[in-house]
Each structure stands twice: as structure tokens, then as C-alpha cells.
């Protein structure tokens, strides 16, 4: 029985099915909690999966051999956000400069603060580089991290934590400021909390989700272009 168990937990299909099952359970938990943002399905499913992996003594590479199939769908899923975004082209054409400026400032300040704090607390160069890419959506962040010399696994975890924390804090701040306009609300969620924020915005309304997708896409594009350039000019 022990040998059979060891064989099963090393199979990629095991962790693919486990990921899907745990996420489905997390969705049920959030629905029964009246969609509380504190029980975001990504945060809940991650906590459950990490617990299972620790108890089963399974390393990240073994887990990712199965989860890679889901990871490959991140790109097409991100591109599919262009469909609801197409219906908002009139507003985008009118305010395109404001959108670009907001995405550039939001991403730039986030990256600068994260890298500055990491360096201040004595983090290694590799860690600082991994942190630099954590403020964009997962597919772009992983590619950036590898090209800049960071650790993709660390960047992956940081992107997820940034998304969950950003979705929670952004909604609270926007509610406090009484900003409920779908354009402002969705775009801010997309820039600050990228994929997780966009998923949360989609739960609010398709219009919120469209502008969240715009914010996420612009932040990713501008970061991918200007972050390596900034490092090269700074000689980092």
C-alpha cells in the first residue's frame, strides 16, 4: 500500500485532478460564506494544496508537473479578456492616455516600493529580481523573472500573494473613498491585483471585468517593456 501511495502521488495527473478538486471546493466555501473577499478561492485553494503537499512530502516540481497543464491555459484565458474589452472601446479611445498613465504609475510605484523594501531588509539580488516581476499577471511575471535572473517559483508565489492581498485591500480602499464607477473600480483592481483582481471584477460585472482586463494588460505590457530597460540603464 505504501509503494502504491508513493507511486500515485508522483503522477502528474494526481496533482492536476487535486488542483481542480480543491479549487472547486474553495468556490463552494466562498459561495456559502456569501462571497466574502476574505475567503477568495485562490487563497483558500492555495492554503489547502500547500497543506496537502507538506503532509504528503511532495516537492514543488512534482506538483507543477501536473499543474503545468493549467498554467498553459493562463495565456489564452488572458487573451480572451479582449472580448468584453472590445465593447468598451469608445471609453478607451476617449481616455487612453489616462489609462496608460495610471497603469505606468501604479506598476512603477508598486515595483519600486517592493524592491526598495526587499533591498532594505537585506534580501539577495536574486530575491530582489524575483520581487521586481511580482506586480504583473502570472505568464508575464514568470517570463520576466527568468530573463532578469530571478526565481520563477518565488515570483509565482509572490504574484499570487500580491493578487489576493491587492484584491482585498483595493476593494476596501475604493469603498472607503466611495469610488464605485466600473471604469475606476475595475481598472484599479486590474493594475493592483492583476489576474485575481480581474477575476474578482468579473464577479461584480462584465464592465468592471473589462476595465480590469485593460488594467492588467497595460500594466503587464508597460512593465515588460520598461522594467528590463530600467535595469539596463541602472546597471543592476
Q: What is the pLDDT of residue 235?
A: 66
The CA-CA-CA angle for residues 222, 148, 112, to 5°, reads 55
Q: What is the pLDDT of residue 206?
A: 84
Q: What is the pLDDT of residue 228?
A: 85
- Pairwise CA distance, residues 80 & 3, whole Å: 43
pTM: 0.76
Q: What is the pLDDT of residue 236?
A: 63
Q: What is the pLDDT of residue 181?
A: 81
Q: What is the pLDDT of residue 24?
A: 92
Q: What is the pLDDT of residue 159?
A: 87
| Distances in whole angstroms, Cα of residue 176 to Cα of each of 86, 98, 111, 173 | 30, 23, 24, 5
Q: Average pLDDT per run of 10 along the chain, which is 236 residues long?
A: 71 87 91 78 86 87 83 76 83 89 89 87 87 83 85 84 82 80 86 84 84 89 87 72
Residue of 9, 24, 105 whose CA lies nearest to 56: 9
Hey, what's the cell of 80? 480572451
Amino acid at each position: 500500500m505504501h509503494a502504491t501511495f508513493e507511486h500515485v502521488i508522483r503522477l502528474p495527473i494526481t496533482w492536476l485532478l487535486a488542483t481542480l478538486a480543491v479549487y472547486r471546493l474553495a468556490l463552494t466555501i466562498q459561495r456559502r460564506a456569501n462571497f466574502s473577499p476574505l475567503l477568495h478561492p485562490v487563497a483558500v485553494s492555495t492554503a489547502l494544496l500547500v497543506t496537502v503537499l507538506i503532509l504528503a512530502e511532495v516537492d514543488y516540481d512534482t506538483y507543477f508537473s501536473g499543474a503545468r497543464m493549467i498554467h498553459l491555459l493562463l495565456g489564452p484565458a488572458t487573451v480572451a479578456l479582449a472580448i468584453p474589452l472590445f465593447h468598451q472601446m469608445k471609453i478607451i479611445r476617449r481616455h487612453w492616455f489616462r489609462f496608460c498613465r495610471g497603469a505606468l504609475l501604479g506598476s512603477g510605484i508598486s515595483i519600486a516600493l517592493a524592491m526598495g523594501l526587499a533591498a532594505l531588509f537585506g534580501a539577495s539580488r536574486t530575491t530582489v529580481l524575483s520581487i521586481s516581476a511580482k506586480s504583473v499577471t502570472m505568464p508575464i511575471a514568470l517570463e520576466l523573472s527568468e530573463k532578469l535572473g530571478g526565481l520563477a517559483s518565488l515570483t509565482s508565489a509572490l504574484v499570487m500573494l500580491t493578487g489576493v492581498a491587492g484584491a482585498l485591500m483595493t476593494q476596501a480602499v475604493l469603498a472607503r473613498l466611495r469610488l464605485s464607477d466600473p471604469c475606476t473600480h475595475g481598472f484599479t483592481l486590474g493594475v493592483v491585483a492583476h489576474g485575481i483582481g480581474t477575476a474578482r471584477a468579473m464577479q461584480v460585472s462584465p464592465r468592471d471585468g473589462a476595465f480590469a482586463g485593460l488594467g492588467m494588460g497595460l500594466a503587464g505590457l508597460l512593465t515588460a517593456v520598461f522594467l528590463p530597460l530600467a535595469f539596463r540603464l541602472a546597471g543592476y
